[in-house]
Structure 1
Amino acid sequence: MRQREMIEAEILLREEAEQFVGWRESLSAIPTINRLQERADFYRQEELKKCTRKLAQNDSLSDSEMEAVERLSRGIVNKLLHGPMSHLRKTESVEGKQAAVKELNSMFRLEESAADNGRARNGRGAANGRRR
């Protein structure tokens, strides 16, 4: 009887330890998720400023219209980020999570500052003859 209880306790302890390690490893994704959200919000606000400047040349928006535009832009950003962030959160293996973090950092250039990245992006757009 005691032997069986010891084995059950050991199994339970291993399962809890595995869950704890998985939880701890999932924390490594939090800085990347935060940087991705901050980067996306930075770009959202920059584009919103451009839009409101152009609209102000014609007619100004009412407060309720501006709030609607703000909600629209936040909604678009949230929908675009949902897939990459869900993938990062759901990746279970440590190696898979590290690879996903590395890929997101690379794809979205999260190691660069958003302002520097925006200047480089605008420079390339002008070089290619595209207007922003």
Structure 2
Amino acid sequence: MSEMESLRVSLNKEAEAYRVIQSEMTKLVTTRTRLQSQVNENEMVLEELNRLDDEASVFKMIGPALIKQDLVEAKSNVNKRIEYIKGEIDRLDKQLKGLESKSKDKENEVMKAQRKLQSLVQGS
């Protein structure tokens, strides 16, 4: 295999690895967006619960049935849900930072391989 062929194979391999990383990043961003939307919804629910009187009736839908729930318990459950989702968002943010770093490295490797191949082609 000639040096040019070897470089082309290497370039294709690096470019594919870059595409895979970009695809993973897209999935993470989509998931993060969905989770952020859930946080916003739960924060709105919490705001509504905070507006209620202490004696107000609160119901939770479980399947097709509405079950009466204590207001304090409802607030606690919503707060826990918000905490959990925010933890997941933080975890995704860390993964995204790691992938961004890998993506930059792969992008540099692809550009380096392209320059080598281009100089070989021009030198021929």
Give TM-score, length-normalised by structure 2: 0.39
Q: RCO greater where, 1 or 2, for CA within 8 Å and sep 6 or more?
A: 2
Give TM-score, length-normalised by structure 1: 0.36
